[in-house]
Structure 1
Amino acid sequence: MVLSPQDIHNKEFSQKMRGYSVDEVNDFLDQIIKDYQIVLQENNDLHTKLDESQDKLKYFNDLKDSLNQSIIVAQEAADKVKSNSKKEAEITSKEAQKQAADVVNSANEKANRILQEASKKAKKLAVETDDLKKNTRVFRQRLQVMLESQLEVIKAKEWDNLLDDDNTTNGYEEIEKTVSQLDNSNDSSVNSGSDADIVENAVAADDMSETVVIYPDGDQK
């Protein structure tokens, strides 16, 4: 059993002959009581501090466990976020590639349509241009035939005979008859080449590298 300061203070000793001095013993006991009280107080303080330290240690251990658990949870959350981000990035990349492919395909289809339309227009324009050239050649051919016919009529000897000052035998009726014959001859020469023949001759001339003039009588110059 541990003695208390009160136990020391109340301790009584029996007296014998030639024993210790009572006052000295009491003084010494008082000093022991004071020192013992100090030691007990320090012991109590140390126990209190030890309890506080143990409580703090327990708090920090609990905090450590909580922090470790938080770190584990944060790591798991980070791994999950990383995994989700990777999946979202892959999905976004696939969608972007699909959209890019759709845009490229749409642009190619549009470009093909534009090229096809432009090709059709170019072919149509080429055909129209070719027809215009053929019609122009036909017109030129007919004009040339008409002018050549007129020139042949003008160069006819009948005009020389008719306008000869030495020839006085021709009367008015004879001159009128001659002029009428020349006009009929001119009309016959102009109309002798049909439109079909002129067109055929113009198309044939279009295929040749040099310009060929086809006269109604079949001669070429």
Structure 2
Amino acid sequence: MPLTPLDIHNKEFGRRLRGYDEDEVNEFLDQVIKDYEALIRENKELQNQVLNLQEKLNHFANIEETLSKTIIVAQEAADEVKNNSKKEAQLIVKEAEKNADRIINEALSKSRKVALEVEELKKQASIYRARFKTLVEAQLDLLSNEGWDSLEGEAPRRREALEQD
């Protein structure tokens, strides 16, 4: 068990002949008691400081651990958001490609229909032109035919005949 200031104060030394000066010894013991008490107080203060610092260290260690966990969770969340964004972007690109393919196919289909209609109209125009040309040629042939001359002379005769009746 450690020595206390009270133990030092109560310590009695045996007497011998030619011993030490009792007042000097008592003064020295008083000084030792004061210094020892100061050391004990300082030791207790340092122990309290050590405890406080240990508590703070534990507190900061907990904060550090919490921050580390938080950083890991945040990194995982960021990675998850990044992966989800990539997946969503891929889905958007696939959807856009599907729409583009559909639009292209519809446009090709419409252009084929228009091309067929144009060809049909060209055929119809060609047929119409041929028929019209034939009709015009027939009319020209009819006009250039000598039968018109006889019709011209016959028309006044018919009028005269009608007038006489």
Instruction: Report the TM range for the smaller structure's normalisation.
Output: 0.7 to 0.9
Aligned-partner residue type, residue 36 of structure 2 = Y
Distance of 2:121 and 2:5 partners within structure 1: 125
TM-superposed deviation, 1:129: 1.9
**What aligned pairs does 1:1-221 form with structure 2 within 5 A after superposition?**
1-146=1-146, 150=149, 183=153
**SS in structure 1 opposite 2:145?**
helix
TM-superposed deviation, 1:145: 1.8
Distance of 1:143 and 1:16 partners within structure 2: 181
More off after superposition, 52-61 vs 26-35: 52-61
Aligned-partner residue type, residue 120 of structure 1 = E
TM-superposed deviation, 1:102: 0.8
Distance of 1:133 and 1:145 partners within structure 2: 18
Q: How many residue pairs are counted as aligned between the two chains?
A: 153
Distance of 1:9 and 1:110 partners within structure 2: 117
TM-superposed deviation, 1:65: 2.5
After superposition, the C-alpha distances for 1:134-188 in whole angstroms (9 at most, x for unaligned) are: 11111112112248x63xx8xxxxxxxxxxxxxxxxxxxxxxxxxxxx947xxxx
CA-based RMSD of the aligned residues comes to: 2.5
Deviating above 4 A after TM superposition, structure 1's stretches of 4 or more consecutive aligned residues are none
Distance of 1:146 and 1:132 partners within structure 2: 23
**SS in structure 2 opposite 1:32?**
helix
Which of the two has higher C-alpha Rg? 1
Aligned-partner residue type, residue 130 of structure 2 = D
TM-superposed deviation, 1:103: 0.9
- Aligned position for 1:207: none
Aligned-partner residue type, residue 134 of structure 1 = T
Unaligned runs of 5+ in 2: 155-165
Q: Give the direction of change, closer, same or farther, for the CA distance of 1:31–1:145 in structure 2 (3 Å limit).
A: same
TM-superposed deviation, 1:71: 2.9
Distance of 1:37 and 1:15 partners within structure 2: 27
TM-superposed deviation, 1:107: 1.3
Aligned-partner residue type, residue 113 of structure 2 = R
Q: Which has the higher helix share?
A: 2
Distance of 2:15 and 2:59 partners within structure 1: 57
Distance of 1:78 and 1:56 partners within structure 2: 32
After superposition, the C-alpha distances for 1:165-216 in whole angstroms (9 at most, x for unaligned) are: xxxxxxxxxxxxxxxxx947xxxxxxxxxxxxxxxxxxxxxxxxxxxxxxxx
Distance of 1:12 and 1:88 partners within structure 2: 91
Distance of 1:34 and 1:137 partners within structure 2: 149
